[in-house]
Structure 1
Amino acid sequence: MKKKKILIRIGSLRHGGAEKVLITFLKNLPKNKYEVDLLLNLKSGKYLKEVPSWVTIYHLHKGEMITTNKPWEIPVKAYRRLYEELLKFFPIILYKFILKKRDYDIELIANHRLLEEVLKSPLKTSKKVVWVHNDLFSISDYTPARIKDFFKADKIWVISDKIKSGFEKLASTKDEKEKLIRIYNPIDSQEIVNKSEEDIDFTFTKVKDEKIFVAVGTVFPQKGFDRLIKMHKKLLQEGYKHKIYIVGDGYDFKNIQALIKSLKLDDTVKMVGYQENPYPFFKNADYFILSSRYEGYPTVLFEALTLKKPIIATDVSAVREILQDGKLGKIVENSEEGIYKGMKEFLTQPEIAQKYKQEMNEKELPFTLENAVSRLTTILDHL
């Protein structure tokens, strides 16, 4: 049987949800059926070493991601941007001199920001697939007119019913609606459990009756860590003892650190930074909290469910689907007040959190690695 040739594009393999999902997907693809090339804008990230050996990696740049504007970094950032723009306007250079292949059956972007790049591909016979991980309708610079451009692709993979519904409202024809495919992200639950048992170089400390909330994610404004910290301060002032561990790194890290310092919370909020293995933090916390302003499909909730941690989550895209309309976790208003009320409820009525934990233990989790990968490969086979 002839293998299908697939080009997959993503910015990098840093520590993010979309990157983790892509790696899990690649690790579970049958190599006897597909020939995969992976093109990275920046060859870096924690998941780079996990790319299967049979996948060929190409890149536009090497080095680390630059998230600041230090004077000596600006020329490198400018060069990278100009180089990417050059390849966007003259894609034949990319395909002829970097990829050196012109016969892909499928070109898939695993980052919605690369839409223009895949649509400008010089390969006219390949199927163009866009994998949308974010709720674009919650991002200010994605206007309806801009989102309509996604229908120029052959297929649009969306990871939640809410995102699919948003696209369907913009679809002008039946053909456009049929381009939409609702998929489940592949999550390896056994790997999560195994890694949660590993020893890490971190000491978990808490006094008697003190609860620990853990929040995990890239430190961007999207994740709402600023409002989580403000509500933490408010609860402390009301006498409710608890701590917060924030696991992750990102360009907003120093701003969040400054906020913690200004509110005099150094003893109760721990910014532990990027962790190769975040799962022991889930295991050693009492509760998991998602304070995001918007999301696509927060796979971190699945990780918390796998490790049986009572969840508080703002009402953003896919949360209701993952938490089964509140059966598996506390869904709160997407606001500071909503975060405050959810945390206060868990702190004052721990039996509610325990009830969610019992529900998790009794229910079979709705998403499995095998089903998700099987669904994705079936879709690829029919393109």
Structure 2
Amino acid sequence: MKKRIVFVLNNLQYADGVAKVLVELCNFLDEKLFDITIIPIYRCDSNFIKLLKPHIHIQKTLGFYFRGLDKIVNALPIRFLYQKIVGGNYDIEVAFQYGLATRMIANSTNRNAKHYAWMHGYDEGLTLGKEYPKFDKVFCVSKFNEERLRRESDGTVNVDCCYNIIDESKILEASKDEISEDTSQKPIFVAVGRQTPEKGFLRLVDVVSRLKKDGYHFTLWLIGDGAEHQQLVDKVSGEKLEDTVKLLGIQSNPHKFTSRADVFICSSFSEGYSTACAEAILLGVPVISTAVSGAQEIIDDSQCGMVCQLDDASLYDALKHVLDNPEVISTWKKSLETTKLKFGAAARGERASSIFRDNK
């Protein structure tokens, strides 16, 4: 018989990175072995559902969200919410997102099911610390956070690691699209992500400005949008960096740019496990990352690139090292010809599938 699995999360929509991770996971799981249901508590984008394979069931709950709705819903008794939203007779119940989903599955009344939670970032201060020990297992998406949760919970949580699945075939195909950007000013650095404070793009531009003043020539492509976008525009203009920093905005296909870059940069102050870095690795592009969660794992597994400390000076030194030693890029890319296979769907998907297949 197929194992019946339910995944509960906040929203099923394009803007939610957790939803995209769930799509890759559910699409990978063998439909001959698993009967899969997804329950989004709030928004449920009908166009986003089309990304899922037809056999995957969607059970809508509210279907909308407005500011403060989560506070209203969270004020209701948790067992009542579980019965109304989840309820069904599942073999495996998965809280795939922090917050209400985690609280509900932690307080499940289904004694015959296995109960799992996914921690995509990190629950700073362990605000749901009383809930995690109730799960059969809590999965972090990086070994760094797995070890941190085990340590900070004093061993009371059964914790493990499961990396996110990335369908490299889609990425590789998308990377073939043409671009109109000038690629003559090398090396080309690229950074992709929400332009918000935790991503560190403003300080990355400061580092670039310093490098340019020191006489270095290169190009930086910044892809994305967000709360800091206008500040980035103003900073690039104010520092007269238009010939070096290219703000390319939101791109439906960032992979076509990343694949033509020499080095991918993660300048973040915090990450769970950078999917953008892993995607760059799959495209054969080495990574320079600040010492956020998962960064050292990415570099160790790929055997290329480097990790620097979180401060601006360390990020400057890392980029300067590449500019002073451009031959290192070729060495890194040579390593990636084989090591990038560790990041593919075949390797990481089998690990994820085994969690649900062998859950005794």
TM normalised by structure 1 equals 0.82
8 A contact 1:204–1:284 mirrored in 2: no
Cα RMSD of the aligned pairs, angstroms, is: 2.9
8 A contact 1:16–1:217 mirrored in 2: no
Task: Pick closer, same or farther for the CA change 1:13–1:45 going to 2, 3 Å.
Answer: farther
Counterpart position of 1:189: 168
Counterpart position of 1:77: 67
Structure 1: unaligned runs, 5 residues or longer:
66-75, 137-141
2:231 and 2:238 map into 1 onto residues whose CA distance is 10
Secondary structure class of the residue paired with 1:323 = helix
Q: In the alignment, does 2:347 pair up with 1:371? A: yes
The AA in structure 2 aligned to 1:21 is V
Deviation by residue 1:212-269 (Cα, 9 ceiling, x = unmatched): 2111122332211121111111112222222322222334434444444444444533
Matches within 5 A, 1:48-127: 48-60=49-61, 62=63, 76-78=66-68, 80-86=69-75, 89=77, 92=80, 95-96=83-84, 101-113=87-99, 114-127=101-114
Counterpart position of 1:290: 266
1:26 and 1:258 map into 2 onto residues whose CA distance is 42
Aligned-pair identity in percent equals 26
Secondary structure class of the residue paired with 2:272 = coil
Structure 2: unaligned runs, 5 residues or longer:
none
The AA in structure 2 aligned to 1:77 is R
Q: In the alignment, does 2:182 pair up with 1:205? A: yes
Deviation at 1:108, TM superposition (A): 1.2
The AA in structure 2 aligned to 1:132 is M
Counterpart position of 2:33: 33
Counterpart position of 1:70: none
Q: In the alignment, does 2:213 pair up with 1:237? A: yes
2:126 and 2:142 map into 1 onto residues whose CA distance is 18
Secondary structure class of the residue paired with 2:37 = strand
Matches within 5 A, 1:124-143: 124-136=111-123, 142-143=124-125
8 A contact 1:46–1:276 mirrored in 2: no
Task: Pick closer, same or farther for the CA change 1:209–1:261 going to 2, 3 Å.
Answer: closer
1:219 and 1:45 map into 2 onto residues whose CA distance is 27
8 A contact 2:13–2:48 mirrored in 1: yes
Task: Pick closer, same or farther for the CA change 1:8–1:81 going to 2, 3 Å.
Answer: closer
Deviation at 1:24, TM superposition (A): 1.2
8 A contact 1:3–1:32 mirrored in 2: no
Task: Pick closer, same or farther for the CA change 1:233–1:89 going to 2, 3 Å.
Answer: farther
Counterpart position of 1:162: 144
Deviation by residue 1:344-377 (Cα, 9 ceiling, x = unmatched): 2222321122211122125463233223222222
311, 321, 324: which one aligns with 1:335 = 311
The AA in structure 2 aligned to 1:131 is W
The AA in structure 2 aligned to 1:192 is I
TM normalised by structure 2 equals 0.87
8 A contact 2:342–2:348 mirrored in 1: no
2:200 and 2:241 map into 1 onto residues whose CA distance is 17
Deviation at 1:164, TM superposition (A): 1.6
Secondary structure class of the residue paired with 2:343 = coil
2:341 and 2:56 map into 1 onto residues whose CA distance is 30
Task: Pick closer, same or farther for the CA change 1:263–1:107 going to 2, 3 Å.
Answer: farther
Deviation by residue 1:31-78 (Cα, 9 ceiling, x = unmatched): 222222212222249854312222222345556x8xxxxxxxxxx423
Task: Pick closer, same or farther for the CA change 1:90–1:152 going to 2, 3 Å.
Answer: closer
